[in-house]
Amino acid sequence: MMELIQLKNITKAYRRQSPDAPALEDINLTIHRGELIAIMGPSGSGKSTLLNILGFMDHPTEGEYLFDAQPLQRISSRHIHRTRNQMVGFVFQHFALLKDYTVQDNVILPLTFRKGKHKDRVAKATHYLEKVGLASHRLKKANELSGGQQQRVAIARALVGEPELILADEPTGNLDRRTGEEIMDLLQQLHHEGRTIIIVTHDDEVAKRCDRIIRLVDGKVLTDQNNYQNQV
């Protein structure tokens, strides 16, 4: 498999922290295209910090991040913003939808930063809403939907820009077990279509459905293992 991401000796320290206890310390990871990865660890282990760095939402204090063979530290902020918009889709635990906007308008949002006609954006949003089973709800307000439906809208929004990478932060954390399983069914389907997906989760059942499990403790990688049970 081709490499999508390389993290080399990544360390992240915040000013309020002791220099002896950074949020992340000496992280070395290679992520290949098409992988489905779970990042696990106790609260405060650095999971969200790592996800923010992977998604260009935060910058490491030390080390090198290569995305699609490009060293991000050596390119402009404008190029980083464009790469994030075009190459990365985000799914959050609390959905992060604009509640007074329609479902369709929420999904279109990532495309508003790109050139193109409105009718083409609507067509693409409709396509991905069909993919998550919500095309018939496209003109409803986001706050009229159930939690599971809102998460499906968030996934459609993550997909609409056709990114290389999907980052999901506790995507089943606010959902009941059955709805969470449906969301994981959808993410696994996207993985089988070739998407690279990284999921931060506390849920062992979610992790079991991933191909690789990375465990963090105190800002360091404790284990990085292939989940052979899921591959059988």
Q: What is the pLDDT of residue 78?
A: 86
* Confidence class for position 11, pLDDT limits 50, 70, 90: very high
User: How far is it, in rounded angstroms, from Cα 83 to Cα 226?
Assistant: 29
List, in sequence order, every beta strand (DSSP E) within 74-149.
88-92
Burial class, 127, CB count within 10 angstroms (exposed 0-12 / middle 13-18 / buried 19+): middle
C-alpha 104/C-alpha 61 separation (Å) is 38
Residue 231 pLDDT = 54
Question: How long is the chain?
Answer: 232
- Kindly tell me if the per-residue pLDDT of 225 is higher than 60: yes
- Share of the chain residues as helix, strand and coil, in percent rounded to the nearest 5: 40, 25, 35
Q: Say which residue, 104 or 73, is predicted with more confidence.
A: 104
Helix (H) or strand (E) holding 81: helix 77-87
Range 213-221 average pLDDT? 96
Mean pLDDT of all residues in the chain? 91
Q: Which residues pair with 161 in a beta bridge?
A: none
Look at residue 173 and tell me whether its pLDDT is greater than 80: yes
Write out 17-63 in H/E/C secondary structure: CCCCCCCEEEEEEEEECCCEEEEECCCCCCHHHHHHHHCCCCCCCEE
Burial class (CB in 10 A: 0-12, 13-18, 19+), 218: middle
**Cβ proximity of 84 and 130 under 8 Å:** no
pLDDT score of 221 more than 60: yes
Contacts of residue 231, defined as CB under 8 A and 6 or more positions apart, other chains included, come to 211
Domain residue ranges of the chain, discontinuous segments joined by +:
3-231
pLDDT at 149 over 80: yes
Mean pLDDT for 147-163 is: 93
Is there a contact between 171 and 151 (Cβ–Cβ < 8 Å)? yes
Q: What residues contact residue 109 under an 8 Å CB cut-off, 6+ apart?
A: 98, 157
pLDDT at 232: 46
pLDDT at residue 99 is higher than 60: yes
Interior CA angle at 39 toward 88 and 81, to 5°? 20
The answer to whether domain 3-231 has CATH 3.40.50.300 is yes
pLDDT value at 119 more than 70: yes
